[in-house]
Amino acid sequence: MSGHSKWANIKNRKGAQDKKRSEAFTKISKNILTAIRLGGGSTNPEVNGALKVAIDKAREVNMPKENIQRLLDRFEERKANLVSVVLEGYGPFGVPVIIEAETDNKNRILGEIKLIFKNYEGALGESNSVMYQFDRVGEVELENMTEENQLELIDLGAMDFDEKIVIIETSLLNDFVKKVEESGFKVIRSESVYRAKNPVILANEDQVEKILDFVDELESNDDVLGVFCGFDYN
């Protein structure tokens, strides 16, 4: 769920901390496929900055090189039959939600997503029913960032900052990732996202947990690329 890495502590308290190796590989595999899709279908990490970051993370958890190449080859085989889908709606507590998916069966994904919304007392909406509440931007999450670093990052193209996340224009995403890595920064995540202009303020951690459960179910669908929720919690 993009733009909400600060909810990690709440999310971690809900589940087991030690992930099995196979579970880690499953998550990394999806991250690689998502990076390819969000990178315009490019399987070349030298061109697709988000894919390069995903592959680097796969190597950090010792995913075999053959597994990574198999994922790239599988996407190349399937991509001719894939269509992009953007779904919009309201989740629990009136939180606006945008879902990006890529599928070879539009009716199936629509039915599956609609059921998840229903189970969480939300509802899918028409096209542009919530889109106007979001800005399309690029996000680059860095391992470390100080106020002094921010001046350097602004020179490289940064528009704004949110904790360790740099916000930039989507068209600059791949070039920006290359520049910051060349400058010695460690990139944790980079992708194009939807950021809410005026997030819904949730009342308590229970509501945050319900939203995170809702997002987990959406993200568990193999065809879903990204889930973007407009909420905050003080």
Q: Which is more confidently placed, 76 or 15?
A: 76
pLDDT attached to residue 110: 95
Strands 165-168 and 160-162: antiparallel
Average model confidence (pLDDT) across the chain: 85
- pTM for the whole structure: 0.74
Strand partners, 189: 141
Quote the tokens at residue 215: 């997002």
- Confidence band (pLDDT; 50, 70, 90) for 113? very high
- Residue ranges of the chain that CATH labels 1.10.10: 12-80
Q: What is the identity of the amino acid at 169?
A: E
Who contacts 147 (Cβ-Cβ below 8 Å, separation ≥6)?
none
Token pair 């900055």 is found at 49
Determine the CATH number of domain 134-196.
3.30.70.980
> Has domain 12-80 been given CATH number 1.20.1740?
no
Q: Torsions phi, psi of 176, nearest 5? A: -65, -45
User: Does the domain at residues 83-132+198-232 carry the CATH identifier 1.10.3720.10?
Assistant: no
49-53 average pLDDT score: 85
pLDDT at 13 over 70: no
> What residue ranges of the chain are covered by domains with CATH 3.30.70.980?
83-132+198-232, 134-196
What is the per-residue pLDDT across 123-165, written as a single tens digit (0 to 9) for each? 999 988 999 999 999 999 998 888 888 999 999 999 999 888 9
**Which tokens is 97 given?**
């939600």
The Cα–Cα gap between 185 and 212 comes to 29
| Token pair for 189 | 């995540």
Cα 170–171–175 angle (5° rounding)?
Answer: 105
Q: How far apart are CA 164 and CA 98, in angstroms?
A: 23
Q: What is the DSSP string of 73-122?
A: HHHHHHGGG-EEEEEEEE-GGG-EEEEEEEES-HHHHHHHHHHHHHHTT-
The pLDDT assigned to 9 comes to 54
